[in-house]
Amino acid sequence: MASYNTSEFKKGLKVQIDGDPYILIECNFVKPGKGQSLYKCKLRNLLRGTVLDRTYKSGDSLEMADIATIDAQFLYKQAELFVFMDNESYEQYELSKEQINDAWKWIKEGTICSMLLYNGNPISMEPPNHMVLRVEYGEPAVRGNTATNLTKPVKLETGAEVVVPAFIEQGDLLKIDTRTGEYLERVRG
């Protein structure tokens, strides 16, 4: 199996340790006064989400993880499972609510997402960075309240709740940053 030498270590590298896939989230090069150089690394387990601190000596290596990223279209939700389809092979994949975490808030049927496969099996999914979603419900703005910094919570078509300016009304289309869950702008429909 292919491997990465310590000189190739960088943030975002996907490796395999004890049969589990990890992503390198931090790597610091340390050169002590005498002796070998060290690489202090933080790795996140892609299956469990746990973080591991490891130190490697110069010349060590880590096994490459069999990870692929594909574009997959969200088809539908069935009980606690989310069903996606690979747009090239038309193969369908299922992810549980635990694998998706809070990303379910930002996807609707037909959304193209980035899916991570480990040994051909789906392990996680990321929605597009920005989504345009319709406001399902929001309290009407109080007449005369024209202060610019007033906000209110609204419920979107996916079930997600976001805080928006008071002038947003039910039925409006909003552009949302899915990485932070923040309102960006109102979109004309």
What domains lie within the chain, and their CATH numbers?
A: 3-64 (2.30.30.30), 67-126 (2.40.50.140), 130-187 (2.40.50.140)
Query: Which residue shows structure tokens 């996680």?
Result: 124
pTM: 0.76
Bridge partners for 64 per DSSP:
15
The per-residue pLDDT string of the chain (189 residues; one tens digit each, 9 = 90 and over) reads: 688 898 888 888 999 998 889 999 999 988 888 888 899 999 999 888 889 999 999 889 999 988 889 999 999 999 889 999 998 999 999 999 888 888 889 999 999 999 999 988 998 899 999 999 999 988 876 665 555 678 889 999 999 999 998 888 889 999 999 989 899 998 886
- Alpha carbon distance 31, 8 (integer Å): 16
